[in-house]
Structure 1
Amino acid sequence: MNTTISNNGMPKLPQAPSGQGASTQNAAGSGASEAGSASAGADDRVQLTDSARALQEASRTNAGATVDTRKVDQIRQALANGSYRIDPSRIADRMMSLEKQINGKS
């Protein structure tokens, strides 16, 4: 099974410049690194855990999800005119429900 790993919206980390620092490092250890990389490439394998597979599957199903623009517009208007109500007990109940799901309790 081939899997493409993307950055999932995370910012890319800065890369080391390929200028002077890389050339001095390559000159010093080129013999050992070339020998190690030639044999390592043939046997490299990645094994995903069940959790990683579940996360991967969940991200696939959400990729095709559509956005209810009408509902988004309603919420945007309610926020703009100050009529949007937040129900803290409903939020707490849903958080507790999620916690129970994560811990495997019904």
Structure 2
Amino acid sequence: MNTTITSNGLPVLPQAKGNQNAQAQASQPATEAAPAAKADDSVKLTESARALTAAQGDKAPAIDTKRVEQIRAAIADGSYRVDAGKIADGLISMEGQLNGKP
């Protein structure tokens, strides 16, 4: 059985390379890719976040800046892939922990 899904008049979002088959590519208009993250992006922590970080002390996980840069570059060039199964497993595990199950 073959089912075709159309946008039903909604805007077509850009897809990562390799996620669309040739038929889908031919039927959808070309769209511009989202701009890459700017070099001047920044993060501002709230007082609560700073207090939590200070309370964790040495237990706070170290930030792997090299890995962060690798992920940032992969997102920018469109090669970053999300493992949906791994995310689902993590959510199921977290739900079990919240419910008191090991």
TM over 0.5: no
Q: TM-score range by the shorter chain?
A: 0.3 to 0.5
Higher gyration radius (CA): 1
Please, what TM-score do these two structures have when normalized by structure 2? 0.44
Please, what TM-score do these two structures have when normalized by structure 1? 0.42
With a CA cutoff of 8 Å and minimum separation of 6, indicate the structure with the bigger relative contact order: 2
If each structure's helix is expressed as a fraction of its own residues, which one has the higher value?
1
